[in-house]
Structure 1
Amino acid sequence: MNNIYIQPNPWSIIEEGFDATRVKSSESLMSLGNGAMGQRANFEEHYSGATFQGSYVAGVYYPDKTRVGWWKNGYPEYFAKVLNAPNWIGINVHVNGEQLDLAECKSVEDFRRELNMKEGWLSRSFTATLKNDITVKVNTKRFLSLNIDEIGAIEYSITPVNSDARIDYSPYLDNGITNEDSNWDDKFWDVLSIDFEDNQAFIVSRTMKTDFYVCTYMKTELALNNKPIEAKPDVDAFKDMISFSYNQEVAKGDTFTITKYGGYNSDRNHDRNQLVDVAKKTLGHVSDLGFNALLEQQKQAWANIWNMSDITIEGDVEAQQGIRFNIFQLNQTYLGKDARLNIGPKGFTGEKYGGSTYWDTEAYCIPFYMATKDQSVAKSLLEYRYEHLDKAIENAEKLGFTNGAALYPMVTMNGEECHNEWEITFEEIHRNGAIAFAIFNYHRYTGDYSYIPEKGLEVLIGIARFWQQRANFSTAKNKYVILGVTGPNEYENNINNNWYTNYIAKWCIDYAMQNIDKVKSEYASDYNRVMSKVNLTEDELSKWKAVAGNMYFPFDEERNIYLQQDGFLDKELITVSDLPKSERPINQKWSWDRILRSPYIKQADTLQGFYFFEDHFTDEELERHFDFYEPFTVHESSLSPCVHSIQAAKLGRMDQAYEFYLRTSRLDLDDYNHEVEEGLHITSMAGTWMSIVEGFGGMRIINDTLSFEPKIPEQWEAYSFKVNFRNQILRVNACKGHTHFELEGGHDLDILVNGKPITITANSLVTV
Structure 2
Amino acid sequence: MMNYDTGSEEWKNWIISERSFNKKYLGKCESIMVLGNGYMGVRSATEEAYIGEKRNTFVAGTFNRFDQNEVTELPNAADLIQLDIEVNGEVLDLTKGTIHNYNRQLNLRTGELCRSFTWVLTSGEEYDFRFKRFISLVDLHLIGQKIEIIPRNCNSSIKITSGINGQLTNSGVQHFSEGDQRLYENKYLQLVQTTTESKIDFLMNMVHNFKINEQIFTPESMIHMDRRKIYFHFDTSVNKGQTLMLEKISTIQTSRDRNLGNISLRELKNISYAHLKKQSSKGYETLFIESVKAWETRVWKQYGMEIESEHEFDQLAIRFAHYHLTIMTPAHDNRMNIGAKGLSGEGYKGHTFWDTEIFILPFWIYSAPKTARSLLEYRFFSLSGAHKKANENGYKGAMYPWESAWLDDGEVTPVWGAADIVTGEQTKIWSGFIEQHITADVAYAVRQYFQVTNDNEFMNEFGFELLFDTAKFWCSRLEWSIKDRQYHINDVVGPDEYKEHVNNNAFTNYMAYWTMKNALAYAHLLKKQKQSIFQKLNAKLNLTKEMLKWEERLELIYLPKPTANNLVIPQDDTYLQKKEIDLTKYKEQDEVGTIFNDYNLEQVNEIQVSKQADIMALFYLLEDYFSSEVKAANWNYYEPKTLHDSSLSLSIHSVLASDLGDSNLAYRLFKKASTIDLGSNMKSSDHGIHAASLGGIWQCVVNGFGGIRVLEGQLRIEPKLPENWSKLVFPIYWHGDRLKVVITKESVIIENITKENKRIEFLNHENLYILIDKITIQHNHSEK
TM-score range normalised by the length of the shorter chain: over 0.9
Deviates more, 1:721-730 or 1:322-331: 721-730
Which residue is 1:73 aligned to? none
Contact 1:575 1:632 in 2 (8 A): no
Please tell me whether residue 732 in structure 1 is matched to residue 735 in structure 2.
no
Please tell me whether residue 542 in structure 1 is matched to residue 537 in structure 2.
no
Q: CA deviation at 1:164?
A: 0.8
Secondary structure of the residue aligned to 2:44 is coil
Secondary structure of the residue aligned to 1:141 is strand
Contact 2:727 2:742 in 1 (8 A): yes
Contact 1:220 1:259 in 2 (8 A): yes
Structure-2 separation of matches of 1:453 and 1:147: 32
Which residue is 2:707 aligned to? 698
Please tell me whether residue 399 in structure 1 is matched to residue 370 in structure 2.
no
Structure-1 separation of matches of 2:456 and 2:636: 37
Q: One-letter code of the match for 1:726?
A: H
Equivalent of 2:507 in 493, 500, 505: 500
Equivalent of 2:78 in 83, 86, 89: 86
What pairs up with 1:677-696 in 2 under 5 angstroms?
677-696=686-705
Structure-1 separation of matches of 2:42 and 2:53: 13
Distance 1:11 1:767, change over 3 A: farther
Q: One-letter code of the match for 1:263?
A: T
Q: CA deviation at 1:573?
A: 2.8
Q: One-letter code of the match for 1:545?
A: E
Kindly indicate whether structure 1 or structure 2 has the higher relative contact order, using CA contacts under 8 Å at least 6 residues apart.
1
Q: One-letter code of the match for 1:690?
A: Q
Q: Deviations over 1:14-38 (max 9, x none)?
A: 1101122222211111101111111
Which residue is 1:489 aligned to? 496
Secondary structure of the residue aligned to 1:237 is strand
Q: Deviations over 1:147-204 (max 9, x none)?
A: 0110010001111122110111221100111011xxxx54311122000123210001
Q: Which runs of 5+ in 2 are unaligned?
A: 8-12, 416-428, 779-784
Contact 1:152 1:262 in 2 (8 A): yes
Equivalent of 1:357 in 352, 355, 375: 352
Structure-2 separation of matches of 1:26 and 1:380: 30
Equivalent of 1:101 in 93, 117, 121: 93
Distance 1:89 1:582, change over 3 A: closer
Please tell me whether residue 342 in structure 1 is matched to residue 337 in structure 2.
yes
Structure-1 separation of matches of 2:477 and 2:681: 37
What pairs up with 1:312-711 in 2 under 5 angstroms?
312-315=306-309, 316-334=311-329, 336-373=331-368, 375-402=369-396, 404-415=397-408, 416-421=410-415, 422-538=429-545, 540-555=546-561, 556-574=563-581, 576-577=583-584, 579=586, 581=588, 585-587=592-594, 589-590=597-598, 591-670=600-679, 674-702=683-711, 704-711=713-720
Which residue is 1:240 aligned to? 228
Secondary structure of the residue aligned to 1:440 is helix
Which residue is 1:158 aligned to? 149
Equivalent of 2:188 in 193, 196, 200: 200
Deviates more, 1:269-278 or 1:712-721: 269-278
Secondary structure of the residue aligned to 1:171 is strand
**Alpha carbon RMSD of aligned pairs, Å?**
2.1
Equivalent of 2:18 in 15, 18, 32: 15
Contact 2:73 2:405 in 1 (8 A): no
Secondary structure of the residue aligned to 1:258 is strand
Please tell me whether residue 275 in structure 1 is matched to residue 248 in structure 2.
no
Which residue is 2:423 aligned to? none
Contact 2:3 2:16 in 1 (8 A): no
Which residue is 2:158 aligned to? 167
Q: CA deviation at 1:101?
A: 1.9
Distance 1:671 1:362, change over 3 A: farther
Equivalent of 2:767 in 740, 753, 756: 756
Contact 1:87 1:175 in 2 (8 A): yes
Secondary structure of the residue aligned to 1:678 is coil
Distance 1:173 1:131, change over 3 A: farther
Distance 1:357 1:703, change over 3 A: closer
Deviates more, 1:445-454 or 1:708-717: 445-454
Q: Deviations over 1:580-607 (max 9, x none)?
A: 7469633553432332222221111011
Contact 1:700 1:706 in 2 (8 A): yes
Q: One-letter code of the match for 2:79?
A: N
Please tell me whether residue 721 in structure 1 is matched to residue 730 in structure 2.
yes
Instruction: Calculate percent identity across the aligned residue pairs.
Output: 28
Secondary structure of the residue aligned to 2:676 is coil
Equivalent of 2:296 in 303, 308, 322: 303
Which residue is 1:289 aligned to? 282
Contact 1:586 1:595 in 2 (8 A): no
Q: Which runs of 5+ in 1 are unaligned?
A: 68-77
Q: Deviations over 1:557-600 (max 9, x none)?
A: 32222110111112223464464746963355343233222222
Contact 1:343 1:683 in 2 (8 A): no
Distance 1:57 1:131, change over 3 A: farther
Contact 2:27 2:683 in 1 (8 A): no
Contact 1:212 1:266 in 2 (8 A): yes
Deviates more, 1:637-646 or 1:542-551: 542-551
Structure-2 separation of matches of 1:669 and 1:324: 12
Q: CA deviation at 1:6?
A: 5.1
Which residue is 1:210 aligned to? 198
Secondary structure of the residue aligned to 2:72 is strand
Equivalent of 2:45 in 42, 47, 54: 42
Please tell me whether residue 112 in structure 1 is matched to residue 114 in structure 2.
no
Structure-2 separation of matches of 1:379 and 1:18: 42
Contact 1:199 1:233 in 2 (8 A): no
Distance 1:761 1:63, change over 3 A: same
Contact 1:55 1:85 in 2 (8 A): yes
Q: One-letter code of the match for 2:324?
A: Q
Contact 2:187 2:207 in 1 (8 A): yes
TM-score normalised over the length of structure 2: 0.91
Q: One-letter code of the match for 1:549?
A: E
Q: Deviations over 1:103-150 (max 9, x none)?
A: 3x2122211011000111100001112465432110011000010110
Q: Deviations over 1:225-264 (max 9, x none)?
A: 1221134631011121111122221111111010000121
Q: CA deviation at 1:632?
A: 1.0
Secondary structure of the residue aligned to 1:82 is coil
Which residue is 1:221 aligned to? 209
Distance 1:203 1:131, change over 3 A: farther
Regions of 4+ moved over 6 Å: none
Which residue is 1:766 aligned to? 776
Distance 1:236 1:566, change over 3 A: same
Which residue is 1:262 aligned to? 250
Structure-1 separation of matches of 2:288 and 2:413: 40
Contact 1:489 1:602 in 2 (8 A): yes
Distance 1:38 1:585, change over 3 A: closer
Structure-2 separation of matches of 1:570 and 1:48: 51
Q: CA deviation at 1:725?
A: 1.7
Distance 1:478 1:767, change over 3 A: closer
Q: One-letter code of the match for 2:211?
A: A
Secondary structure of the residue aligned to 1:268 is coil
Q: CA deviation at 1:711?
A: 1.7
Q: One-letter code of the match for 1:86?
A: A
Structure-1 separation of matches of 2:400 and 2:711: 31
